[in-house]
């Protein structure tokens, strides 16, 4: 939609110029698919990030660095990324929005919005790191970034990094929504790596759209660590998730239903992982 | 602000407001095949190609894609001969009201440019952001598959 | 029978198809006129309130504002927005702009300005104060003693009982139902409650109004009912009908929403006041809130059967929520019975009672299926339950009871559209064949016998049978004119309104068949009140049957004229001549080209226009019939229902254009699946629509549907054009009962409150203890 109250549009020469504009109240625009839906309350200028050298995916020894203005379609179509972590990134991206949206929406824009996300739970489960510029280049694990609410301060997200997955490890993702092209009622992303003795070395159990932004179910992760990864562990993790998630009622689902779904999705994700592990 | 596009192969210069959507600019320029079904990226009726990729024109700031090559359904037929996608839609009774047809064919064009031999699942995935209320997608999906086959045959 | 047809029965590409696939500017919203104004609507933020003050001065003072309409400067005539034949069977309870608002989204003012932005800015400057009269947000609240009176105006007409918020009532009875239930071996009862649902055509309502050189109002409108628009707008604006011309260009879907006159009056008045062209288009949000919806209904069905499985008594009680205004309230509710009850005509005892209730909620109106959708759901659920109680296969119970060709039902006479009906014998019925084909293609017997699974995912199959109608007997009228050109081609002029269905194409096929020419020799002009003959419009599944017959009649008349000219050219007996392959051919093998005849008709000898106009008023409404089959997988842990397979076998008489007929079915089924599973308007406690967009109101996308398999089972309807019946609506009726019955088969739970969202099903599974 065309926005009233947008009075200017600037193409910065570099990150510094872009950040200066943002500091002065300009709205950073990458794909623009989210920005264009909300008329600013005061006259505002847009600052276009797509001219900055922030686009592209580089892979190195199983790890990936993704520039902020890379579109979700570019991520989905990147063979290396699509194969990473049992294909969980591609599987998830194929359920995000529609192809028309993914062709335009960028990972940086999505992370900057920091809500209504299937992407973030998967990135959290994969221990991704986000980088940004706020006068200097910074980076931080994605979990800490959102926990601290940093994304709400003036900044320009520059990219996200996904570390290599050290085998034996596996990941899985589940999304539950009313239709295919829809926000999730609940989603779940998990990753489990095994120690030499076959017990769980590390686990991520992330539940999103509770309807809060995805976050680790800490007690489930802690409980799994050091245990054999067996059906009783999986059932226990599912039960913990149902209790621990910050479930809330909104127009999409009740808190009670979300808790029930959390148990099911966590159990199914972990069962998927069990079937993928050696 | 001044913007220039190549629309369906023809260079065009126009004025666009900084907050204006590409859909509104294209419709104002007379490219009314770009349909406004929802104005918020939900329906796909305004899909156009921007540098080869299908996007919702209502979700793109016009000034941001200054200089881009834009493709609409209006530029598909060559010298009166329908593009295979158009011909398949027509011959396969895939059009009812025809309001979603331009966006759907543009979306299909993007698909076929990257995946010339899609299966039904790939076509349905590609159309997942292009709503149709008339057809139940049955005949549009058939038509896109038929067009893909026709295009492959033409190439070989 | 159909073997003798050349053009009818073939999959002709749509006559407007090329225009549409090349993206030509042919929709009402595609046309810009110089100096055109744009309209922004001011709508009510209150569900039920009196406007105590309205100040438009700030809006009018804004640069670029041409006109502001409110209740203070617009006609006060009471009317109905329902685009029905005159006199409309809907109460006259609306005004263009009223002093009272009756739902959140009701019209308060309209602003016309140079640009959409200015219009929106000006709309925000209209100051309105309201006196809250208390929202009435459910049928129960509306019927409660002491409920606020929604229509307390003195000048409304034909409201049944305004003080008690009852817009309309209807009833029909045959036999003695209480005796009938006493005589029954098994009695079952089902109550269902359906939701607020919206048509969601991809093109929102849009109209362009301007004045021609003579000051006549030209309306280019996305309407299903151009002639009704002309009549209703003329009455509202107190103009002679001939001062208005309505043109329906290509239309981006309607499904009943565009059988309502809800934008044309405003645009026409602004054009008249300002002398400038004006476009009024709904935003998607307005399309949800201020357009029309399907009537939510609570329907109780009670069935009694003899021990041999014969349905002996049927009772149907309907309470229908017509929202703030009674548009289509009476007739939709009538059809809830009249398009369902005749199906089981073995029952001598049948009673139907309906009440349409006002609430301060969005206005219900015509929506594909038109009440039949809400009625067949509890009926077919009750039939499924009856089969279970009797220990009979659900298919077999239908076979034992359904109506057949040569039979009638007293309901045809007792219950029409808001009045007594018309007695009618069913002259074609291939429902037996539909059931047989459906059972085979769906593999009903195998799937029904298969284990339902013992993991979290349970499988089940269900079915239902359906009837609808083809037009409204003794009410609908369609006209058609055909004139021959000097190259032997023809102009076909029809009032019929192609809303994307392909009616222009199939009407051309009917004409071409009679005239012995290919379709490309027929130039179709439709839906222009200046040029084309009258047609009641595109609703009630009328076009193929009613308009098609008018076309067939006009074509036969023209064919006769052509043959008589040819007879004199060939010096042959007209009885020995026939039209074929673009020629008049004699039994003796001699022939003459139609181009020669056309040329001669213009330039002699003895030039005379070969042309005819014909019309048709049906005496019956031959029902199409359908058997629907659904296979579902129910995730008992999450409540998610996945439709795995869907088959519909439909008796459409002769399919004039089989693929277009299939398309009608496929689209209607998709819409019906959305209605069953995901589509629902949600409201706040103050009556505001919470989800007025396609992100939150979930219509099915390409990934959300099962394989939809449609089989056309042809019969021959002797009263129809080339044996055809209409099937625009019937397809939408199947999914709700077939899916609900399949879910019952899978998990033993009866679902009575669509949409069957996962959370709702999960709760039902837990409540009914069937989850394990």
Query: In chain A, where do the E strands start and end?
Result: 6-10, 27-29, 44-48, 57-60, 63-67, 129-133, 137-141, 156-162, 169-176, 186-194, 200-208, 215-216
Q: What is the pLDDT of residue C770?
A: 53
Q: Sort out which chain C residues have CB atoms less than 8 A from A257's CB and list them.
A: 758-759, 762-763
Interface touch B42/C693, C-beta < 8 Å: yes
pLDDT tens digit string along C146-203?
Answer: 999 999 999 999 999 999 999 999 999 999 999 999 999 999 999 999 999 999 999 9
Residue C639 tokens read as 């409540």
CA–CA separation, C627 and C433 (whole Å): 9
Nearest to C638 among A251, A254, A261 (CB): A261
∠ CA(C259), CA(C265), CA(C266), 5° rounding?
A: 125
CA–CA separation, B63 and A3 (whole Å): 12
Q: What is the pLDDT of residue C771?
A: 44
Alpha helices in C346-443 (DSSP H): 372-390, 394-401, 410-414, 431-442
Residues 695-714 of C with CB under 8 A from B: 695, 699-703, 705, 708, 710
pLDDT tens digit string along A128-161?
Answer: 999 999 999 999 999 999 998 888 889 999 999 9
Please compute Rg for chain B using Cα positions.
15
Interface touch B129/A97, C-beta < 8 Å: yes
**Contact of C149 with C366, CB cutoff 8 Å:** no
Q: What is the largest CA-CA distance in chain A?
A: 62
Assess B123–A contact: CB distance below 8 Å, yes or no. no
Query: In C222-263, where do the E strands start and end?
Result: 244-247
Q: Judging by beta carbons within 10 Å of its beta carbon (0-12, 13-18, 19+), is residue A166 exposed, middle or buried? A: exposed
b/e C77-94 (16+ beta carbons within 10 angstroms → b): ebbbbbbbbeebbbbbbb
Q: What is the pLDDT of residue C3?
A: 67
Q: Sort out which chain C residues have CB atoms less than 8 A from B38's CB and list them.
A: 284, 693-694
Average pLDDT rounded to a whole number, residues B78-105: 96
Average pLDDT rounded to a whole number, residues A241-264: 97
**What chain C residue is nearest to B39 in terms of C-alpha separation?**
C284
End-to-end Cα separation, chain C, in angstroms: 54
Nearest to B42 among C23, C671, C695 (CB): C695
**What chain A residue is nearest to B21 in terms of C-alpha separation?**
A2
CA of residue C633 relative to chain centroid, distance: 31
**Contact of C118 with C65, CB cutoff 8 Å:** yes
Residue B65 tokens read as 């894609």
Question: What is the SS3 assignment for C309-369?
Answer: CCEEEEEEEEEEEEECCCCCHHHHHHHHHHCCHHHHCCCCEEEEEEEEEECCCCCECCCCC
DSSP for residue C628: E
**What chain A residue is nearest to B16 in terms of C-alpha separation?**
A2
DSSP for residue A13: S
pTM: 0.98
3-state secondary structure of B49: strand
Phi, psi of C162 (to 5 degrees): -60, -40
Assess B77–C contact: CB distance below 8 Å, yes or no. yes
Gap from A92 CA to chain B (nearest CA, Å): 13
Which residues of chain C fall short of a pLDDT of 70? 1-3, 770-772
CA–CA separation, C437 and C89 (whole Å): 39
CA–CA separation, C467 and C334 (whole Å): 15
CA–CA separation, C545 and C501 (whole Å): 14
Gap from A49 CA to chain C (nearest CA, Å): 27
**What chain B residue is nearest to C498 in terms of C-alpha separation?**
B97
Interface touch A264/C638, C-beta < 8 Å: yes
Gap from C284 CA to chain A (nearest CA, Å): 12
User: Residues C401, C402, C405, C406: what is their CA dihedral angle, to the nearest 10 degrees?
Assistant: 50
Percent of chain C topping pLDDT 70:
99
For B125, residues 6+ apart whose C-beta sits below 8 A from its C-beta are A94, A99, C702, C703
Q: Judging by beta carbons within 10 Å of its beta carbon (0-12, 13-18, 19+), is residue C179 exposed, middle or buried? A: middle
Q: Pick from A92, A99, A102, A110 the residue to mutate for testing the B interface (most B CBs within 10 Å).
A: A99
Nearest to B96 among C663, C702, C710 (CB): C663
pLDDT tens digit string along A87-134?
Answer: 999 999 999 999 999 999 999 999 999 999 999 999 999 999 999 999
Q: What is the pLDDT of residue C4?
A: 82
Residues 44-103 of B with CB under 8 A from A: 44, 47, 50, 53-56, 58-61, 63-64
Q: What is the pLDDT of residue C223?
A: 98
Interface touch C666/B129, C-beta < 8 Å: no
pLDDT tens digit string along A17-42?
Answer: 999 999 999 999 999 999 999 999 99
Q: Sort out which chain C residues have CB atoms less than 8 A from A175's CB and list them.
A: none
Residue A225 tokens read as 């660590």
Please choose, from the candidates A97, A264, A267, A114, the residue with its C-alpha nearest in 3D space to the C-alpha of residue A184.
A97
Average pLDDT rounded to a whole number, residues A195-210: 96
**Contact of C725 with C548, CB cutoff 8 Å:** no
Q: What is the ipTM of this complex?
A: 0.98
Assess A41–C contact: CB distance below 8 Å, yes or no. no
User: Residues C394, C397, C403, C406: what is their CA dihedral angle, to the nearest 10 degrees?
Assistant: 130
CB atoms within 10 A of CB C425: 12
CA of residue B5 relative to chain centroid, distance: 16
For C723, residues 6+ apart whose C-beta sits below 8 A from its C-beta are C1, C2, C428, C653, C654, C715, C716, C717
Residue with tokens 């369902």: C340
Nearest to A32 among B53, B54, B60 (CB): B60
Residues 249-268 of A with CB under 8 A from C: 251, 253-254, 257, 260-261, 264
Per the prediction, chain B carries an average pLDDT of 97
Assess A181–B contact: CB distance below 8 Å, yes or no. yes
DSSP for residue C163: G
- Beta pairing class for A6-10 and A44-48: parallel
Assess C695–A contact: CB distance below 8 Å, yes or no. yes
Please choose, from the candidates A203, A209, A223, the residue with its C-alpha nearest in 3D space to the C-alpha of residue A262.
A209
Q: Sort out which chain B residues have CB atoms less than 8 A from C283's CB and list them.
A: 39
- Beta pairing class for B10-15 and B2-7: antiparallel
CA–CA separation, C113 and C280 (whole Å): 11
Q: Pick from B37, B96, B131 the residue to mutate for testing the C interface (most C CBs within 10 Å).
A: B96
CA–CA separation, A160 and C531 (whole Å): 64
Percent of chain A topping pLDDT 70:
100
CA–CA separation, C656 and C572 (whole Å): 33
Please choose, from the candidates C763, C735, C770, the residue with its C-alpha nearest in 3D space to the C-alpha of residue C194.
C735
CA–CA separation, C648 and C66 (whole Å): 53
CA–CA separation, C86 and C232 (whole Å): 9
- Beta pairing class for A200-208 and C478-484: unpaired
Q: Sort out which chain A residues have CB atoms less than 8 A from C700's CB and list them.
A: 179
- Per-residue confidence at A7, pLDDT binned at 50, 70, 90? very high
For A173, residues 6+ apart whose C-beta sits below 8 A from its C-beta are A88, A91, A92, A118, A121, A122, A125, A187, A188, A189, A190, A269
Q: What is the pLDDT of residue B80?
A: 86
């Amino acid at each position: 939609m065309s926005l009233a109250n947008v009075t200017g549009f600037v193409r910065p020469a570099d990150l510094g110029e872009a950040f200066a504009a943002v500091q002065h109240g300009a709205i950073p625009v990458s794909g623009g698919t989210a920005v264009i839906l909300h008329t600013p309350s005061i006259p505002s200028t847009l600052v276009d990030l797509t001219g900055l050298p922030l686009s592209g995916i580089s892979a190195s020894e199983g790890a990936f660095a993704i520039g902020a203005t890379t579109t979700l379609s570019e991520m989905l179509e990147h063979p290396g990324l699509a194969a990473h972590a049992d294909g969980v990134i591609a599987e998830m991206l194929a359920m995000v929005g529609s192809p028309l949206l993914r062709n335009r929406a960028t990972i940086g824009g999505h992370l900057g919005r920091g809500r209504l996300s299937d992407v973030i739970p998967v990135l959290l489960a994969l221990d991704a790191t986000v980088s940004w510029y706020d006068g200097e280049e910074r980076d931080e694990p994605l979990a800490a970034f959102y926990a601290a609410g940093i994304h709400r301060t003036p900044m320009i997200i520059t990219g996200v990094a996904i570390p290599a997955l050290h085998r034996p490890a596996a990941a899985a993702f589940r999304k539950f929504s009313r239709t295919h092209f829809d926000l999730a009622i609940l989603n779940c992303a998990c990753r489990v790596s095994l120690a030499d003795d076959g017990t769980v070395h590390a686990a991520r159990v992330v539940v999103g759209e509770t309807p809060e932004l995805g976050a680790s179910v800490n007690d489930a992760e802690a409980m799994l660590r050091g245990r054999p990864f067996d059906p009783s562990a999986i059932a226990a993790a599912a039960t913990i998730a149902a209790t621990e998630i910050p479930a809330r009622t909104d127009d999409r689902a009740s808190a009670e239903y979300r808790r029930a779904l959390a148990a099911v999705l966590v159990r199914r994700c972990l069962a998927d992982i069990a079937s993928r592990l050696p | 602000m001044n913007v220039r596009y190549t629309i369906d192969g023809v260079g065009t210069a126009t004025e666009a407001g900084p907050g204006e959507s590409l859909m509104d600019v294209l419709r104002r320029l007379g490219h009314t095949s770009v349909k406004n079904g929802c104005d918020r990226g939900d329906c796909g009726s305004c899909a156009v190609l921007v540098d080869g990729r299908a996007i919702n024109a209502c979700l793109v700031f016009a000034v941001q894609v200054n200089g881009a090559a834009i493709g609409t359904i209006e530029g598909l037929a060559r010298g009166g001969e329908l593009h295979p996608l158009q011909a398949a839609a027509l011959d396969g009774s895939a059009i009812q009201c025809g309001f979603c047809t331009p966006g759907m064919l543009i979306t299909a064009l993007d698909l076929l440019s990257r995946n010339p031999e899609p299966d039904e699942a790939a076509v349905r995935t590609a159309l997942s952001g292009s709503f149709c209320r008339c057809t139940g997608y049955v005949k549009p999906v058939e038509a896109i598959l038929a067009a893909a086959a026709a295009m492959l045959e033409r190439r070989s | 029978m159909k073997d003798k047809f050349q053009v009818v029965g073939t999959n002709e590409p749509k006559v407007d198809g090329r225009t549409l696939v090349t993206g030509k500017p042919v929709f009402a919203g595609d046309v810009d006129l110089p100096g055109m104004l744009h309209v922004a609507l001011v709508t009510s933020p209150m569900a039920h309130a009196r406007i105590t003050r309205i100040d438009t001065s700030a809006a009018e003072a804004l640069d670029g504002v041409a006109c502001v309409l409110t209740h203070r400067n617009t006609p006060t005539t009471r009317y109905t927005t329902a685009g029905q034949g005159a006199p409309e069977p809907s109460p006259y309870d609306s005004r263009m702009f009223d002093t009272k608002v009756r739902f959140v989204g009701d019209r308060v003012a309209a602003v016309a300005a140079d640009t959409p932005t200015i219009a929106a800015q000006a709309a925000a400057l209209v100051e309105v104060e309201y006196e809250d009269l208390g929202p009435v947000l459910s049928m129960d609240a509306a019927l409660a003693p002491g409920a606020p009176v929604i229509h307390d105006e003195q000048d409304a007409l034909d409201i049944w009982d305004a003080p008690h918020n009852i817009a309309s009532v209807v009833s029909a009875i045959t036999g003695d139902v209480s005796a009938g239930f006493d005589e029954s071996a098994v009695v079952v009862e089902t109550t269902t409650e359906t939701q607020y649902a919206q048509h969601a055509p991809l093109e929102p309502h849009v109209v362009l109004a301007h004045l021609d050189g003579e000051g006549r109002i030209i309306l280019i409108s996305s309407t299903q009912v151009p002639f009704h628009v002309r009549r209703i707008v003329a009455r509202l604006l107190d103009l002679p009908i001939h001062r208005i011309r309505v043109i329906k260009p290509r239309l981006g879907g309607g499904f009943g929403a565009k059988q309502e006159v809800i934008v044309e009056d405003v645009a026409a008045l602004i054009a008249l006041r300002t002398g400038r062209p004006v476009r009024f288009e709904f935003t998607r949000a307005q399309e949800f809130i201020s357009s029309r919806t399907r009537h939510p209904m609570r329907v109780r069905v009670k069935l009694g059967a003899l021990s041999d499985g014969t349905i002996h008594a049927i009772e149907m009680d309907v309470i229908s929520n017509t929202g703030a205004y009674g548009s289509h309230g009476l007739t939709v509710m009538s059809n809830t019975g009249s398009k369902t009850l005749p199906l089981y005509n073995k029952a001598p005892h049948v009673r139907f009672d309906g009440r349409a209730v006002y609430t301060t909620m969005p206005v219900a109106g015509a929506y594909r299926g038109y009440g039949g959708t809400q009625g067949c759901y509890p009926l077919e659920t009750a039939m499924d339950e009856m089969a279970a109680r009797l220990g009979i296969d659900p298919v077999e119970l239908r076979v034992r009871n359904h109506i057949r060709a040569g039979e009638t039902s007293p309901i045809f006479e007792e219950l029409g559209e808001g009045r007594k009906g018309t007695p009618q014998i069913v002259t074609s019925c291939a429902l037996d064949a539909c059931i047989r084909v459906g059972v085979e293609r769906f593999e009903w017997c195998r799937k029904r016998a298969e284990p339902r699974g013992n993991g979290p995912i349970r499988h089940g199959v269900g079915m239902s049978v359906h009837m609808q109608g083809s037009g409204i007997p003794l009410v609908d009228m369609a006209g058609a004119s055909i004139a021959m050109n000097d190259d032997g081609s023809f102009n076909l002029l029809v009032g019929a309104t192609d809303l994307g269905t392909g009616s222009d194409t199939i009407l051309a096929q009917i004409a071409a068949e009679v005239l012995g020419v290919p379709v490309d020799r027929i130039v179709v002009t439709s839906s222009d009140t200046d040029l084309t003959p009258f047609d009641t419009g595109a609703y009630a599944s009328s076009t193929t049957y009613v308009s098609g017959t008018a076309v067939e009649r006009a074509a036969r008349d023209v064919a006769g004229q052509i043959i008589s000219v040819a007879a004199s050219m060939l010096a042959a007996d007209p009885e020995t001549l026939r039209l074929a392959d673009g020629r008049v051919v004699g039994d003796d093998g001699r022939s003459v080209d139609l181009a020669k005849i056309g040329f001669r008709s213009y330039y002699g000898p003895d030039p005379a226009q070969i042309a005819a106009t014909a019309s048709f008023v049906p005496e019956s409404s031959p029902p199409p019939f359908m058997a629907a089959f659904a296979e579902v997988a129910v995730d008992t842990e999450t409540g998610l229902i996945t439709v795995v397979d869907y088959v519909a076998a439909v008796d459409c008489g002769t399919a004039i254009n089989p693929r277009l007929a299939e398309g009608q079915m496929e689209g209607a089924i998709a819409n019906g699946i959305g209605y069953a599973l995901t589509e629902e308007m949600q409201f706040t406690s103050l009556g505001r629509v919470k989800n007025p967009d396609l992100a939150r109101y979930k219509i099915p996308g390409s990934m959300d549907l099962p394989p939809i398999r449609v089989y056309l089972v042809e019969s021959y309807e002797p009263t129809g054009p080339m044996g055809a019946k209409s099937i625009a609506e019937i397809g939408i009726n199947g999914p709700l009962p077939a899916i609900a019955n399949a879910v019952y088969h899978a998990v033993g739970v009866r679902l009575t409150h669509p949409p069957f969202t996962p959370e709702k099903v999960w709760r039902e599974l837990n409540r009914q203890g069937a989850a394990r």
